[in-house]
Amino acid sequence: MYARQVADRTLTFGVSGMLYRDGLVMYDRQTDTLWTQVDGRAVRGALLGRPLDLVPAVHATWKEWLALYPGSQVLRKRGEFRSSYADYNRDGRRLGITGRRNLDARLPGKERILGIRVGNAATAFPLKAVREARLVEAEVGGLPVLLVAAAPTQPVLAYERRVGSRVLTFRLAGDAGRPALRDAETDSTWEIPTGTAVAGPLAGTRLPRATAYPAFWFGWRGYFPATRVWPS
């Protein structure tokens, strides 16, 4: 998810039909620049070298999403009731449509991760491990982040773990039916789906969402070979 505003222009993107390191290559209709989707970078054309700004997004199953955001709007379907990649997604041995090898055995090639990058730093968070931990606090390139999946029925949500320049540390609170977060510094209580403090000294404050990118391990590693893998 990217902002379409680049250097005072508003771009619209199309599918170039090209792949780079097995990731989508987009083009923009205003300047015909080519952009790699995984790292949001202009790789050829007038805007060469420009980055796209990431927009934080939530990645969830429909069931999880609907439970958290029942008042949301949803992109209208016209058919498209099944994934065209169901078989590909299930097959742990198939890496990329052009057939890749997993170059980095830290994780299985098809392991699903959320990738967070800040400047030149990148960390892959294996979704399964984050779900087991329920609450993960980490730093990526100096940015304190929080990943939380408080219940098996909730998606992994990523936030920046700070208010202004103040870094916070969290623990899970609330009851099983309505989990919440509590920070150690002020003892405020935070609602998980919105990252908003609802009680305590910081009531009304909202945590910035972190920009987490969903990927298969081999794909993320292809673009960010020096990535760290949480928890190491």
Restricting to residues 52-81, which ones interact with another protein according to CB under 8 A? 52, 55, 57-63, 65-66, 69-77, 80-81
Query: How many CB atoms lie under 10 A from the CB of residue 39?
Result: 20
Tell which one of 159, 215, 224, 227 touches another protein (CB under 8 A): 215
CB closer to another protein out of 186 and 194: 194
- Cα-to-chain-centroid distance, residue 132: 18
Tell which one of 114, 222, 224, 229 touches another protein (CB under 8 A): 222
What is the β-pairing status of strands 228-229 and 121-126?
parallel
Tell which one of 44, 50, 106, 131 touches another protein (CB under 8 A): 44
Contact call for residue 153 and another protein (CB under 8 A): no
- Cα-to-chain-centroid distance, residue 5: 20
Tell which one of 96, 108, 144, 200 touches another protein (CB under 8 A): 96
- Per the listing, tokens 């294996």 go with 126
Grouping H, G, I as helix, E, B as strand and the rest as coil, residue 35 is strand
Contact call for residue 228 and another protein (CB under 8 A): no
- Find the shortest distance in angstroms from Cβ 65 to another protein: 5
Contact 140, 123 (CB under 8 A): yes
